[in-house]
Every structure is written in C-alpha cells, then in structure tokens.
C-alpha cells in the first residue's frame, strides 16, 4: 500500500486490511473494494424461499446493525425468518458473536431442531 497510512499501525486495521486482500485475492484497496462490491444479497433476496436464521451482534464492527431489519424486509418469499440478536449483557455483541460461541451454537442448534425435528425411526 502506497505510503503505509498511519491507520495500518493499528493491529485491528492492519489485520482487517491484510485479511481482505488475502480473502479476495487482491493486491490493493481499489481492487479489494471492487471485488467486495459483487457480494450483495439485495438483488437475490426475493428468490430465497427456505427458512432463514439471521444472527446479529448489536456492536458488530463490520456489519451495521440496521442491516438486520433491511435484510429481513427483503426476504419477501422466505418460508420463515428468525432473528437472534446478541447484545453486551449476553456477551455476543461483537462480530460473529465472539466471546459467546456456546450461546451462538445453542441458538443455531435450537433453530435447527425447531425447523428440522428429529424423527424417531422406531
């Protein structure tokens, strides 16, 4: 990156920048933003017809919290939409609910069991 901006001295910013380059297979910020711009659910959300589980942290530093409601509104043909919001008291307010993986696993497994109940084969 030209000039190595001051922000890259922050470990979190540096990690995010280098992770984005690695994830997208790009070499500079402009190409990375262009690569990310193709990943949008809005144009196809109306084609989603299955049950949807949305997990969100109120303090997510990558995904603005308002996108939860925006995405839910766009799922006009989903069979069902379930939203689980994690906040500071729950310990899951951060991105990917870091800090409370067991709580997230419980939420996902509970949802799966609700949507796909275990059927006895006896």
The answer to whether position 120 is within a domain reads no
| pLDDT score of 93 | 80
Residues 6+ apart with CB under 8 A from 65: 56, 57, 58
| pLDDT score of 91 | 82
**Parallel/antiparallel/unpaired status of strands 51-57 and 80-86:** parallel
The answer to whether position 27 is within a domain reads yes
The answer to whether position 121 is within a domain reads no
Both structure tokens of 68: 């939860």
pLDDT average, residue stretch 5-10: 74
Both structure tokens of 59: 């303090």
Q: 72-81 pLDDT, tens per residue?
A: 999 999 999 9
| pLDDT score of 119 | 82
Q: What percent of the chain is modeled with pLDDT above 70?
A: 94
21 plus 54 within the same structural domain = no
The answer to whether position 104 is within a domain reads yes
pLDDT classification of 48: cutoffs 50, 70, 90: very high
CA–CA separation, 117 vs 7, rounded Å?
49
Domain of residue 73 covers 45-115
The answer to whether position 101 is within a domain reads yes
98 plus 60 within the same structural domain = yes
53 plus 97 within the same structural domain = yes
Q: What is the total count of domains within the chain?
A: 2
The answer to whether position 92 is within a domain reads yes
| pLDDT score of 3 | 54
């Amino acid at each position: 990156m030209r000039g190595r901006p001051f922000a890259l001295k922050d470990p979190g910013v540096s990690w995010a920048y280098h992770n984005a380059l690695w994830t997208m297979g790009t070499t500079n910020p402009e190409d990375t933003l262009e690569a990310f711009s193709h990943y949008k659910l809005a144009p196809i959300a109306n084609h989603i017809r299955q049950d949807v589980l949305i997990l969100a942290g109120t303090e997510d530093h990558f995904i603005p919290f308002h996108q939860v409601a925006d995405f839910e509104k766009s799922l006009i043909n989903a069979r069902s939409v379930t939203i689980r919001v994690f906040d500071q008291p729950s310990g899951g307010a951060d991105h990917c609910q870091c800090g409370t993986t067991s709580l997230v696993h419980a939420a996902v497994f509970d949802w799966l069991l609700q949507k796909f109940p275990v059927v006895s084969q006896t």
